[in-house]
Amino acid sequence: MKIALLGTRGIPASYSGFETCVEQLGKRLVDRGHEVSVYCRTNHINYSGTNYLGIRLIKFPAINNKYLDTISHSFISSIHAISQDYDICLYFIAGNSPVTWIPRLTGAKTILNVDGLDWKREKWPRIAKKYIQVSESLASVLPNEFLTDSKVVQAYYEEEYHIKPHYIPYGSEVEIKPPGEFLKKYQLDANQYLLFVGRLVPENNIHHLVQAFRDLDTNMKCVIVGDASYADEYKTSLQHLAGEDQRIIFTGYVFGEGYYELGSNAYIFVETSGVGGTHPAVVEAMAFGNCVVVNNTPENLETIGNAGFSYDGKIGAQSLIEKLGALISDSEIVHAYQNKARVRARMNYSWESVTDQYEELFQQTIA
């Protein structure tokens, strides 16, 4: 098949889970004999080549604006896709649904991965939330098919719109790395730090972790990996909340070898996000063999199953500090849940299995 992947920042992956999905899925589809193109935003992707891992990279600019960046690029990409004779155009993010009809004009089949319920994110003003809700409703109308990586979100669409999207989970394969230069850079010891990975935005509730850890009596450290565009005020508030506590370390974005090294050697992984579908960082943390503690949203609880712990996100830091304090003082139960998490990731979140399911959906949609 001739397949296009649209709606993300592009690859090489250097921002979020959807970019990682595009890279992992794309290279496996190429290995299976398909012709794959990925549309990339020139204001995000610095890679100069036009081919990566056998995938053709098509680069267009986008309006460099918090609200228009994604949809402006997806619109340009969709217009270009009309002339490319694709069999399948796979879009990511519900906000892109208004343009998914465009490639259908010349016979391509379009599929949309809606992700989570993005309108719940605090960063969006009222008009943006309304746009996302309208886009969400169009997800079942404008593309040929749509899907989600969360059964909780799947159930939401079935109840709200009386149509059940396909479900395909996120993958989890990671590289396990021994302690090395990256841990040394931040003066970290293996199994002596807690880890958060994600965008530093209000709805991810990183302040729960900073406040809780600040009040913990421990020699462990807390490593917060990530950054965010258009969130300077919140990032400043996190730094202020951490204060003079040298145990709390903000690394900024970390990808590749550094990310694998940090993930491989963490004692506990903490996911504080209160919105979204399946969080890739949680799935990958389980694959690393981390003991995971998550905000008790239905989506997070679905992801960890019986292989992790949760805290009450509505209570916030006070609930989290109780959970972390108990785990830090009980290494035996932490090690047991590290093994549980590793097994769950291997059994439920495999990129090869994910690719199988996407490939089957592509074939069914064309048929």
Question: Taking the chain, what is the end-to-end CA distance rounded to the nearest angstrom?
Answer: 12
Same CATH topology for 2-171+350-366 and 181-348? yes
Phi and psi of 44, rounded to 5°? -125, -35
* Domain 2-171+350-366 superfamily per CATH: Glycogen Phosphorylase B; (3.40.50.2000)
Could you state, in order of their start, the residue ranges of all structural domains in the chain? 2-171+350-366, 181-348
What CATH class does 181-348 carry?
alpha beta
- Do 164 and 158 contact (CB within 8 A), yes or no? yes
pLDDT by position in tens, the chain (length 367) = 999 999 999 999 876 678 989 999 999 999 999 999 999 999 888 899 999 999 999 999 999 887 789 999 999 999 999 999 999 999 998 889 999 999 999 999 999 999 756 655 666 667 777 887 888 889 999 999 999 988 988 998 999 899 999 999 999 888 999 999 999 999 999 999 999 999 898 989 999 999 999 999 999 999 999 998 778 899 999 999 999 999 999 999 998 899 999 999 999 999 999 877 788 899 999 999 999 999 999 999 999 999 999 999 999 999 999 999 999 999 999 999 999 999 999 999 999 999 999 999 999 999 9
- Non-local CB neighbours of 301 within 8 Å, separated by 6+ positions: 294, 310
- Do 135 and 94 contact (CB within 8 A), yes or no? yes
Both structure tokens of 49: 């080549």
Measured between alpha carbons, how far is 169 from 358 in angstroms, rounded to an integer?
10
Helix (H, G, I), strand (E, B) or coil at 228: coil
Peptide bond into 298 cis (omega under 30): no
Measured between alpha carbons, how far is 288 from 195 in angstroms, rounded to an integer?
12
